[in-house]
Amino acid sequence: MQHHRHPPLPTSPVAYDFQYIEGVNELSAPIPARRPRSNSSDPQTRTVRVSTAFLFPGQGAQTVGMAGDLVAKSPVAKKLFDDAAGILGYDLLDLCVRGPAERLNATDVSQPAIFVASLAALETLRTAEPDAFADVTATAGLSLGEYTALAFAGAISFADGLKVVQARGRAMQAAADANPGAMASLLGGDLAGVEALVAEARSKGKLEVANLLCPGNTAISGSVAAIDEACKLAEGKSFKAVRLAVAGAFHTDLMRPADEHLGAALAGIEIKPPSIPVWSNVDAKPHTDPAEIRGLLVKQVLSPVRWEETIRGLMESGVARFYEIGPGRVLAGLLKRVNRKADIRNAQA
């Protein structure tokens, strides 16, 4: 992995900001992460710095009504949605606030919605807790959330990120329409048990482990018949099967040719070196090289999400505090299953 030298830190405690240039909002270049340090050499006034990671949710976190309060309170959040409407060609905020749920839950809408709503929540956090940004040393996002993390880290602009997310959602929806599939979470048991169940259910069709989320929570993805069989088999084993409300067999080969369409969309945008490492879902490792990031984003569409491994890697790297930024509290729940004592805070959309 290529490493990049970053400029020295400014004195401002605000590490990230939105900047508007000629009416188009972009994430301004984020400030490189600091090592945890003390503000003073005086033991009486010393404030301990805590290495922090910002986490961003993926598809499924959306709910009708999200972002309404943020936009009412934050002009910057409102402008994000105004700009998004111009890029997307429809009123995204209206769908977020009023629905209907069937339209908001569609892959081609939910992905842009979560991307923009999460960045709006980021603005609220910046206003409420500017010091929270000072010690961010890494960022990650679950599936779609990886694009939000890249925008936060300054690797992609808001406009480019939204265009790519829209293309990603459309490509995945088209693949799901062409190759009907489904997903389910298997709760309880261990990974070996999940893999054995998947192997048995493959007699009915394509089936893969799709999301390694946390201990006792693994998502599987495949053909409708194979998911049906897996859910039946789970009843007689140590699992509880929960069908997921998604449009297709995400993170499997059934998503082809969405990866090719996404690759074409990514080829049309600039990806800069992020100012802090962005952890990839594909290999659960931090990356700063634009070429690596571009390739991993394409692979991500067909590859399992290694979220538990990502969280453990972040903690092993020294991260001691997490913020979940965006709609829902799914990531907080997953983190607590990895480490019940973890320090996790939420900035809600």
158-178 helix and 75-88 helix, angle to the nearest 10 degrees? 50
**Local confidence band at 208 (pLDDT 50, 70, 90 cut-offs):** very high
Q: Which residues are catalytic?
A: 143, 251
**Local confidence band at 163 (pLDDT 50, 70, 90 cut-offs):** very high
Report the amino acid identity of residue 198. Answer: V
The domain covering 18-33+49-176+256-348 belongs, at the CATH homologous superfamily level, to Malonyl-Coenzyme A Acyl Carrier Protein, domain 2 (3.40.366.10)
Q: Residue-wise over 78-94: b if at least 16 C-beta within 10 A, else e?
A: bbbbbbbeebbeeebbe
User: In the predicted model, is pLDDT for residue 22 greater than 70?
Assistant: no
* Architecture of the domain whose range is 180-247: 2-Layer Sandwich (3.30)
Q: Residue-wise over 274-310: b if at least 16 C-beta within 10 A, else e?
A: bbbbbbbbbbbebbbbbebbebbbbebbbbbbbbbbb
User: In the predicted model, is pLDDT for residue 109 greater than 50?
Assistant: yes
**Local confidence band at 238 (pLDDT 50, 70, 90 cut-offs):** confident
Average pLDDT in the 322-332 region?
A: 97
163 contacts: CB under 8 Å, gap ≥ 6 = 87, 265, 269
In the chain, domain spans? 18-33+49-176+256-348, 180-247
Q: How high is the pLDDT of residue 47?
A: 59
Q: Is 22 left (phi over 0), alpha (psi -120 to 50) or beta?
A: left
> DSSP label at 220?
E
Q: How many CB atoms lie within 10 A of CB 2?
A: 10
Give the CA radius of gyration of the chain.
Answer: 20
pLDDT tens figures, 67-91: 999 999 999 999 999 999 999 999 9
Distances (CA, A) of 297 to 64, 280, 305: 28, 8, 11
179 contacts: CB under 8 Å, gap ≥ 6 = 248, 249, 254, 255, 256
Average pLDDT in the 51-71 region?
A: 96
Average pLDDT in the 259-268 region?
A: 97
Q: Please give the Cα distance from 18 to 26 (Å, whole number).
A: 6
